[in-house]
Homo-oligomer: A and B are copies of this chain.
Amino acid sequence: MRSIVINGIFVTVNQDNEIITDGSMIFEDDVITFIGESPEDLSKFDQVIDARGNIVMPGLINTHGHGAMSLLRGYGDDLPLQEWLEKKMWPIEGRFTKEHVKWGTLLAILEMLKTGTTTYSDFYIHMDVVADVIEGVGIRANLSRGIIGIGASSEEKQLKLSEAENFAKNWNNKADGRITTMMSPHALYTCSPNFISKIVESATMIQVPIQIHLSETAFEVEQNLKQYGVTPVKHLQQLGVFEHPTLIAHAVHVTEEEIEIIKNYQVNVSHNPGSNLKLGSGIAPIPKMLDQGIYVSLGTDSAASNNNLDLFEEMRLAALIHKGYGQDPLAIPADIAIKMATIYGAHSLFIGHYTGSLEVGKKADFIIVDVNQPHFHPMYNPITHLVYSAAGKDVVDVFVNGKQLVKKGQVQTIDEERVIYEVKRLANEWA
């Protein structure tokens, strides 16, 4: 099927952040085949999409989260981190069944699609359920069965490992290639070094990348120093994890030396500003990482610590907080922030060769942002407006793999009323 998008301001987020105004973009089935001047004759196309003067840009890419935890949005806010985890999150999550994961995941995807996210990373349990949901809904996703070793017998650990391994094997490149997988040891404080090595071994065997929470809090770094005499990033290097393609989530408390290591091993970083701020974890040295050429992307983390999944908000936070914290108005300019939310996100998930920007040969993953609103006027520069003025709710249409998933703000492949009904029902169990 040949489709064309006309009357758009095309924010390509290519190498030079090129903007094509009054142009058009053609895609055939799921692949972009042309961006440039509008052709005379539109009759040759099966589908003509009129952007009505709005911004057309790559879909946003959320590189760290736990979808089903949307069921815990606002459950235990404004508490100290340990109390929040031990008294609120973990006891409830212990009760999560496949049903909780199904409806929690659908709630998360509903919110992400409506706010312009076309690819997200989900690191959780009952991942077969999540993969089934994604196959049906049409979003692009990077999935892994998160593994926590602490408190588990060696049999249980073996069970979790093979479950994660089978999942990663069975679902990698499935659902028209929309699903890719990873192996994800939860963290250094929940998995022993030996167990992490085992997990990395199997990741090497089945050839999928690693994702892990790392140096999220000062406490975590202290504990690792106490227990192992080494800081987390150096610890993973010593374990040989970084010989393997790796994405680390958070990296809030890392030294200059550790940033060197992250750079030298081409480790990718998922920056989660909203969650790091809300939990009082701290402010990551992101400008230093970007200066080193590290791919730093954006994640919302779960809705339980954010408390929404609007990646436009994370993009704005990333562009703002480092300016204020460093008292440097030049830190993370808008043209870098928009790359963090799109193409750097694709690279962070190792799929930068086929999504993350509007370029010929890439998948047709794009969104249309309604700029016919007061907060987009006057418009001197579409990119700074997308970063500093826009919000997720400005997104009206969303396409993934060439298929329209959101039309005029309505998700086409999910029954929103049903999802909200089921979510209320499940939450009432413990509300």
How far is B257's CA from A312's CA once the two chains are assembled, in angstroms? 39
How far is B327's CA from A424's CA once the two chains are assembled, in angstroms? 33
How far is B112's CA from A374's CA once the two chains are assembled, in angstroms? 10
How far is B71's CA from A109's CA once the two chains are assembled, in angstroms? 36
How far is B384's CA from A416's CA once the two chains are assembled, in angstroms? 23
User: Can you list 11 A-B pairs, Cβ within 8 angstroms, ordered by A?
Assistant: A74-B378, A74-B385, A273-B324, A278-B324, A278-B329, A278-B388, A307-B375, A325-B325, A374-B419, A377-B427, A378-B426
Q: A279-B329, A280-B324 are contacts. A427–B378 as well, Cβ < 8 Å?
A: yes
Name the B residues within 8 Å of A84 (CB-CB).
329
How far is B380's CA from A423's CA once the two chains are assembled, in angstroms? 12
How many identical chains are in the complex?
2
Q: A74-B380, A393-B393 are contacts. A331–B374 as well, Cβ < 8 Å?
A: no
Interface residues of A in 359-391 (CB under 8 A from B): 372, 374-375, 377-381, 384-385, 388-389, 391
Is A187's beta carbon under 8 Å from chain B? no
How far is B303's CA from A324's CA once the two chains are assembled, in angstroms? 17
Pairwise interchain contact A75-B280, C-beta atoms closer than 8 A: no
How far is B376's CA from A419's CA once the two chains are assembled, in angstroms? 13
Min CB distance A238 to B, Å, is: 27
Interface size on A, residues (CB 8 A): 73
Q: A218-B327, A277-B320, A323-B279 are contacts. A380–B78 as well, Cβ < 8 Å?
A: no
Is A114's beta carbon under 8 Å from chain B? yes
Q: Chain A interface mostly helix, strand, loop or mixed? A: helix
Is A54's beta carbon under 8 Å from chain B? no
Q: Mark A111-132, 1 if CB is under 8 A from B, else 0.
A: 1001000000000000000000
6 smallest A-B Cβ distances: which pairs? A378-B427, A277-B324, A280-B329, A307-B388, A277-B320, A78-B333
What residues of chain A have their CB less than 8 Å away from a CB belonging to chain B? 71, 73-75, 77-81, 84, 107, 110-111, 114, 218, 273-274, 276-283, 303, 306-310, 313, 316-317, 319-321, 323-331, 333-335, 372, 374-375, 377-381, 384-385, 388-389, 391-394, 416, 419-420, 423-424, 426-427, 431
Name the B residues within 8 Å of A313 (CB-CB).
316, 391
Name the B residues within 8 Å of A330 (CB-CB).
78-80, 280
The answer, among B81, B321, B335, B377, for a CB contact under 8 Å with A324, is B321
Name the B residues within 8 Å of A278 (CB-CB).
319-320, 323-324, 329, 388
Q: A77-B334, A324-B281 are contacts. A378–B431 as well, Cβ < 8 Å?
A: yes
Q: A280-B329, A321-B321 are in contact. List 8 more A-B contacts (CB 8 A).
A: A73-B389, A77-B333, A77-B334, A80-B330, A308-B375, A309-B375, A377-B420, A393-B394
Pairwise interchain contact B377-A73, C-beta atoms closer than 8 A: yes
